[in-house]
Amino acid sequence: FFFVDFTKAARTEHIYTDNTSLSSTPITPSIRALDKKRNYQEKNTANKAYRIMSITVKVLLFASAREAAGNVSSINCTLDGELNTNALRQTLANQYPGLASLVLDESNITLALNEEYIAQGEVKELTNGDVVALIPPISGG
């Protein structure tokens, strides 16, 4: 009679790093399940893992900003890497060239993050689902 205990045998998963070395790391079924549930991508650089996150921000456009973007009242904007108001300004300028002169110059437009004004020169971190309003200068009498 021959008996083998397979419960102690560790499964391995191969991991490629940027320097193309191949290593084996024991992995359990529960760790594999957790890895599948994660909502981010991992990249291994210099043997240190870091997260590359992506978020979607709703941008509301008013007055001249709406006209510069082609008469759209809102935009869903996806940001990768830097997740702040400066990155949002740059992304909007790249995607909508008509908005570039407005969004890149802070004196031309005011941002409001989740219904709170952002002071000129201030940089705020953004999270998934935030709402940012582009508010051009208001004139009239």
Nearest partner of 32 among 8, 53, 15, judged by Cα:
15
* pLDDT means over runs of 10, the chain (141 residues): 44 41 46 45 42 86 93 95 95 95 92 96 96 87 54
pLDDT score, position 62: 95
Say whether 90 sits in a helix, a strand or coil. helix
What pTM, to 2 d.p., does this model score?
0.62
pLDDT score, position 138: 78
pLDDT score, position 52: 54
The CA dihedral of 77, 82, 86, 87, to the nearest 10 degrees, is: -40
Greatest C-alpha distance within the chain: 97
